[in-house]
Every structure is written in structure tokens, then in C-alpha cells.
């Protein structure tokens, strides 16, 4: 009996201790996650293709001598900006001046011979009527006049050719552009139509050549029918500063092997920021999507079910919302499905958020509402 009493007392104390431990155990509740929040906005955003392009000069001219001779003067500095008609080189003009003087003298001699032949023929016309000279003599005088006229024409051609050669001694820029490095120095002897003296490239406006895939070709052609397409060109080291131009060329065939088609944009380049041969980022704007819903690009996350965002509800709880994202627009992204304008989404602190859990917005962590007209925050 004493053993049973002792056992009953032990069970009583064990149950009493268990009850105390259960009563003392606190209930666990996860604290609200600190997050940054931004409101979804609407705006008109462009639909575009981003490609890599290469800058090409609109005009490039290789200056070659058209007469042979020794370079006596150079009138420009390497890399100078040139205007059409600016002097570049002078080839020794003295031999060509001498040829012009000789041709001028020969022309004067031929014109004098023609004048005398005309006088002789006029006299012969009177004499042949009176039978003072024979018909053969008259024909000889007429032939002499014809020969003299031909010699005058030949002399004039020689003078024109000598004048042209003399003008070629002064080489001038045929276009507005920028000079490259000269390839000859004063004293060098050059040969007509042989070798380049200088290359000049026109930099304003300038071309940006790029390619799109054949899968995008239909969209490009469809939007080209509605009008000229805008093109934005950005330098790799200046991504926030774009130069705007227009699409001016679409090649007439898809390239074999690559499946790409070449396009060309014409870009104003008064400040010479774009340089021939440089690679650039090209954005071809196809159309504009009106009233698109945009959120910061940091808001969408990826899960096994697809992309999602956390939407903060009025009761400060987070709702997991599957979304379908569209095109990136600077620091924003288009939400095609899943979020409405004005709804608040979590843009920072998603790792600490649980679906249906409480969230807390700290004033210093809350993001400003995105501006669809200035997605990069440019000043």
C-alpha cells in the first residue's frame, strides 16, 4: 500500500510540473518585416529593340593627286575640321604654268593663222568669180581656212587642259569633314592618280549601323509603314546620355548564315561625340505603349511558379501576387498582368516577407513613386 501511495504522489508531481511548463511557454509571433515600398504608376512607354551598333562616317574621301610633282606646301594640321574648298596641298605649279603659257601661245598663233586664212578665202571668192584664179586655188584657200579652224579648236583644248592641270596643283577639300593624318610631307614627289595623301571623313551627321534578327524584321517593317522610326544611340561610358536620330536605311536582304538584316540610322553629331569605328548601344523605338503599369525593376522576384511581387495591403500585410512582366524601361519594368496602378509593391526587403505576414514601412527605407517620364532619375 505504501508503494502505491508513493507512485501516485510521483505521477501527481510529474503532471503538475508538465502543466506548469505548458502554462509558462510563451506563444511565438514573427515580427513585421521592414521593407521599402513604391506605388505602381501608369505612363506611355516605348516598345523598342536594343542592339549593338557601329558608327560609320557619312562620307569618306581619299585625297589623291591628279598631277605629278613635288609637294611645296601643306595648308592644314592633322585632325583639323575642314570646310569644302579649304586648301590642303600645293604641288609645284611651275611646270604646269609653263605648259599653260606654251598652249596659250600656240592658240594665239593658230588664231592668227585662221584670221589670215579667212582673209585669203574672202579674196578668193571675188577672184574666182572673175576667173582671176582657178577653182583649185579657191578650194585650196578654203581648205586652209578649215585646217586653221581645227588648229584653233585644238589650241583651245590644249589651253583648257593646261589650265586644268594648273588648278590640280592646288588640292582642296571636296567635302566638309575632319582631316586624318597626312601621308606625305613637304618635298615628297607624288604621282598622278597613285597613292593617297589624306583621308577626310564627314562626322555630322553620322551613321550608326546595326542589325536585327529576322524574327524582329516583321515588326520593324510594320512600324516603318506608319512613319519614320526614332533611334537612340548611347556610348558605353555614357549610358544616361542618348543622341537621337532616325532610321534611314533597311537592307534589301537577310544575311546568309547569320539570319540578320542590316539597318542604318542617321544621327546629328554637331559635338562630335560619336566617332567612326566606335561601338555603341542602339535602341530602335518601334512604337509607344499607352497607359502601361510600371513598378521599379527591383520589385519582381522569381519563384518556381514564375515571377511575383509582394503587394502591401491596407492592413499592412503582404500578398504574394503572380505577375507577367513586359519590357524594361530604365529603372522601371512594365507589368502586363497582376498589378494595378496605385497598388503598393515591395521593392526592398523581400527576403524577410512571408505571404500574409505583417510588414513595416520605415520612412527612410520607403522608395519614392517612380516617374515614368524619367525612369533613370536623370537631372
CATH superfamily of 61-190: Helix hairpin bin (1.10.287.470)
CA distance 317 to 353: 9
Q: What percent of the chain has pLDDT over 90?
A: 63
DSSP assignment of 88-136 equals EEEE--HHHHHHHHHHHHHHHHHHHHHHHHHHHHHHHHHHHHTTSS-HH
pLDDT per residue as tens digits for the range 157-204:
999 999 999 999 999 999 999 999 999 999 999 999 999 999 999 999
In the prediction, which pLDDT does 245 show? 95
In the prediction, which pLDDT does 121 show? 74
CA distance 67 to 194: 10
Helix (H) / strand (E) containing 137: helix 135-168
pLDDT per residue as tens digits for the range 303-358:
999 999 999 999 999 999 999 998 888 789 999 999 999 999 999 988 888 898 99
49-58+205-289, CATH topology level: Elongation Factor Tu (Ef-tu); domain 3 (2.40.30)
User: Given this chain, do its domains 33-45+290-361 and 49-58+205-289 carry the same CATH topology?
Assistant: no
pLDDT per residue as tens digits for the range 54-78:
999 999 999 999 999 999 999 999 9
CATH class of 33-45+290-361: mainly beta
How confident is residue 373, by pLDDT bands cut at 50, 70 and 90? low
Taking the alpha carbons of 207, 213, 216, 217 in that order, is the dihedral positive or negative?
positive
The answer to whether the CB of 251 falls within 8 A of the CB of 262 is: yes
Residue ranges of domains in the chain: 33-45+290-361, 49-58+205-289, 61-190
Taking the alpha carbons of 255, 259, 265, 269 in that order, is the dihedral positive or negative?
negative
Assessment of whether the complete model's pTM goes beyond 0.75: no
| Grid cell for residue 142 | 578654203
pLDDT per residue as tens digits for the range 226-266:
999 999 999 998 888 899 999 999 999 999 989 999 999 99
How confident is residue 4, by pLDDT bands cut at 50, 70 and 90? very low
In the prediction, which pLDDT does 371 show? 59
How confident is residue 127, by pLDDT bands cut at 50, 70 and 90? confident
Amino acid at each position: 500500500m505504501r508503494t502505491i501511495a508513493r507512485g501516485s504522489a510521483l505521477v501527481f508531481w510529474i503532471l503538475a510540473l508538465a502543466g506548469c511548463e505548458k502554462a509558462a511557454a510563451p506563444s511565438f509571433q514573427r515580427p513585421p518585416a521592414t521593407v521599402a515600398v513604391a506605388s505602381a504608376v501608369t505612363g506611355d512607354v516605348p516598345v523598342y529593340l536594343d542592339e549593338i551598333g557601329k558608327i560609320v562616317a557619312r562620307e569618306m574621301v581619299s585625297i589623291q593627286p591628279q598631277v605629278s610633282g613635288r609637294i611645296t606646301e601643306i595648308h592644314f594640321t592633322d585632325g583639323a575640321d575642314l570646310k569644302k574648298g579649304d586648301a590642303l596641298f600645293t604641288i609645284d605649279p611651275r611646270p604646269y604654268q609653263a605648259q599653260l603659257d606654251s598652249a596659250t601661245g600656240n592658240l594665239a598663233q593658230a588664231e592668227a593663222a585662221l584670221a589670215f586664212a579667212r582673209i585669203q578665202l574672202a579674196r578668193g571668192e571675188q577672184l574666182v568669180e572673175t576667173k582671176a584664179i582657178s577653182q583649185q586655188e579657191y578650194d585650196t584657200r578654203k581648205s586652209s581656212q578649215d585646217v586653221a579652224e581645227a588648229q584653233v579648236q585644238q589650241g583651245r583644248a590644249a589651253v583648257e587642259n593646261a589650265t586644268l592641270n594648273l588648278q590640280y596643283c592646288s588640292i582642296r577639300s571636296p567635302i566638309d569633314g575632319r582631316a586624318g593624318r597626312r601621308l606625305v610631307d613637304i618635298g615628297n614627289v607624288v604621282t598622278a592618280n597613285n597613292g593617297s595623301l589624306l583621308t577626310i571623313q564627314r562626322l555630322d551627321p553620322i551613321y550608326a549601323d546595326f542589325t536585327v534578327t529576322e524574327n524582329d524584321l516583321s515588326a520593324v517593317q510594320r512600324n516603318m509603314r506608319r512613319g519614320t522610326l526614332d533611334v537612340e544611340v548611347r556610348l558605353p561610358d555614357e549610358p544616361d546620355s542618348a543622341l537621337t536620330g532616325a532610321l534611314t536605311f533597311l537592307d534589301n536582304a537577310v544575311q546568309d548564315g547569320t539570319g540578320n538584316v542590316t539597318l542604318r540610322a542617321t544621327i546629328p553629331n554637331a559635338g562630335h561625340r560619336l566617332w567612326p569605328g566606335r561601338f555603341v548601344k542602339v535602341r530602335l523605338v518601334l512604337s509607344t505603349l499607352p497607359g502601361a503599369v510600371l513598378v521599379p525593376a527591383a520589385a519582381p522576384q522569381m519563384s518556381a511558379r514564375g515571377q511575383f511581387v509582394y503587394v502591401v495591403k491596407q492592413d499592412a500585410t503582404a500578398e504574394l501576387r503572380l505577375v507577367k512582366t513586359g519590357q524594361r524601361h530604365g529603372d522601371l519594368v512594365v507589368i502586363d498582368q497582376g498589378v494595378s496602378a496605385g497598388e503598393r509593391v515591395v521593392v526592398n526587403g523581400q527576403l524577410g516577407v512571408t505571404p500574409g505576414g505583417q510588414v513595416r514601412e520605415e520612412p527612410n527605407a520607403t522608395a519614392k513613386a517612380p516617374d515614368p517620364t524619367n525612369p533613370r532619375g536623370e537631372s
